[in-house]
């Protein structure tokens, strides 16, 4: 006769809301996406990495990097325009804006 020892795992804990996924692209998505051609944020013109770890997204099979989450928001609000701008920048038609000097 088998005796069943019931192990009950109590998964109690705080039911606080986990932060929503930021929609990070998967490694597979990134692998097949067209690489981001710039080293600056196409939205703000900031050099990537200067404001922390760049935010990486994939839109329409293209990798896009942003200096911060705010720029992701701006980009998504006007995606066709920024994608066109990205194309122009990749083609060398536009260049990284000069960083805003503060004070002087
Ligand atoms: Zn930014």
**Is the residue at 32 inside a domain?**
yes
In this structure, is residue 1 part of a structural domain? no
Q: 44 CA to middle of ligand 1, Å?
A: 6
Distance 99 CA to ligand 1 centre (A): 13
58 beta partners? 63
pLDDT number for residue 98 = 83
Q: Ligand 1 centroid vs 26 CA: distance in angstroms?
A: 22
- Give the total number of structural domains in the chain: 1
**pLDDT block averages, 10 residues each, the chain of length 104:** 51 49 82 96 94 92 95 97 97 88 60
- Examine residue 12 and state whether it is found in any structural domain, yes or no: no
Please say whether the beta carbons of 96 and 45 come within 8 A.
yes
pTM of the model: 0.72
In a domain, 5, yes or no: no
pLDDT of amino acid 104: 54
Q: Which domain range does residue 84 map to?
A: 27-90
39: in domain: yes
How far, in Å, are 2, 3, 6, 13 from residue 9 at the CA level?
A: 21, 19, 9, 12
Residue 9 belongs to some domain of the structure: no
Residue 69 and residue 104: Cα distance in Å, rounded?
A: 28
Instruction: Return the CATH number at 69.
Output: 2.30.170
Q: Is residue 100 part of a domain?
A: no
Is residue 45 in a domain?
Answer: yes
Do the beta carbons of residue 75 and residue 82 sit within 8 Å? yes
User: Tokens 């006007």 correspond to what residue?
Assistant: 78
Ligand 1 center from residue 46 Cα (angstroms): 7
**Separation of 70 CA from ligand 1 center, angstroms?**
5
Say what the pLDDT of residue 86 is: 97
């Amino acid at each position: 006769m088998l005796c069943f020892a019931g192990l009950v795992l109590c998964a109690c804990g705080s039911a606080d809301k986990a932060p929503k996924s930021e929609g990070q692209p998967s490694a597979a998505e990134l692998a097949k996406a067209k690489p981001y051609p710039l080293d600056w944020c196409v939205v703000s013109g900031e050099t990537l990495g200067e404001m922390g770890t760049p935010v990486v997204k994939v839109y329409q099979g293209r990798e896009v990097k942003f200096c911060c989450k705010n720029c992701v928001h701006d980009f998504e609000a006007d995606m066709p325009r920024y994608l066109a701008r990205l194309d122009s920048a990749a083609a060398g038609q536009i260049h990284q804006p000069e960083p805003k000097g503060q004070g002087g």
